[in-house]
Amino acid sequence: MLGNNIKQEAGVDVALAGAASGFMTRFICQPLDVIKIRFQLQVEPISHRHSGKYRSFFHAAVTMFHEEGVSSLWKGHVPAQLLSISYGTIQFYTYNKLMEYSKNENLPNDWQHVRQFIAGAAAGSLATVMSFPFDTVRTRLVAQSSNSKIYTSHLSAYITMLKNESTKSLFRGLSPTLIQIAPHTGLQFFLYNLLTNICESFHNENDDNTKKILISMIAGSLSGLLSKTAIYPFDLARKRLQIQGFENGRIGFGKFFTCHSLIDCLIKTFKDEGITGLFKGLLPSQIKAASSTALHFTFYEQALLLLKHIRL
């Protein structure tokens, strides 16, 4: 499954492997995502020189552990898993089908990387729209103070948001997400295939599976790191838009950030917090992006191999 590289497989296998990959990756990386979201939502500077709620990555982890327990690092895990499973299933299945279709069109070989980028961008966009309500609820649950709970469960969050706000509340932040997801996912698939091709030039087909896993991990981590860094301010804006109307649930976390649109969010963040404010939470986000993308592609590759062996 390496090289050119998310090859066309049976549709059911692709969907199952994508779902398994999403599930395993989310479980392992959820604490990084929780800390990243808390950083993104904090208006005060993240520094030991200031009195913000969280002052560093380590300080945030320790503070959450002492105040809310170890389970706080997996806050919003149920909707996050639903997000990851649905996203992974749709993303890999759609990418596979689009690449299959483009090959049938007999496009020039020089267009290989362009096809990978476009297919990845389209697959990521569709998966985002279909799974977005899970992302919004996950963000609200992560943002929620344990001492001022508005939602008692992920199901309670859906019901309360629909009752007190509207259906639109489940899709707040969708526009910056779509703006970022097309180049983000496109770059992920493009860079992953490019990097695995480079790595494959240093090994042969008879190498054991451990080396193939290592190649997936290296290519996946680098593609995730580079693509996430490129679009990060839009990710921050998405999280801040998703908590609009949730002031009461943020008691004890400092100043509440208010905005009305993507542009308004970016301008206010830059005006009030400076250029660094647009990159709050970048470090845990980079760690999470590198590790989750590496795991995502690696689990996907290995799940497909496992399904092949089962069918033999």
| pLDDT tens-digit map of 101-127 | 877 776 666 677 788 888 888 998 999
Asked if the structure places residue 6 within a domain, the reply is no
User: Would 201 be classed as within a structural domain?
Assistant: yes
> Considering only CA atoms, which of 72, 77, 34, 54 is closest in space to residue 252?
54
- Does 4 fall in a domain? no
Most confident of 159-163, 186-190, 282-286: 159-163
Digit-coded pLDDT (tens) for 238-277: 899 988 888 777 766 778 889 889 899 999 999 999 999 9
Residue 144 inside a domain? The answer is yes
DSSP code, position 148: S
Q: Which long-range contacts (CB under 8 A, 24 or more apart) does 283-288 make?
A: 283/57, 284/32, 284/35, 284/36, 284/39, 284/57, 285/32, 285/36, 285/228, 285/232, 285/235, 286/225, 286/228, 286/229, 287/32, 288/29, 288/32, 288/33, 288/36
Residue 181: what pLDDT? 82
Q: Is 51 inside any structural domain?
A: yes
For residue 3, the model assigns a pLDDT of 38
Question: Whole-model pTM?
Answer: 0.70
Is the pLDDT score of 6 beyond 50?
Answer: no
Q: Does 223 fall in a domain? A: yes
Task: Tally the domains of the chain.
Answer: 1
Would you say residue 2 lies in a domain? no
Residue 247 lies in a domain: yes
Average pLDDT, the chain: 84
253: domain CATH number?
1.50.40.10
- pLDDT of 131 above 90: yes
> What range defines the domain where residue 96 resides?
11-311
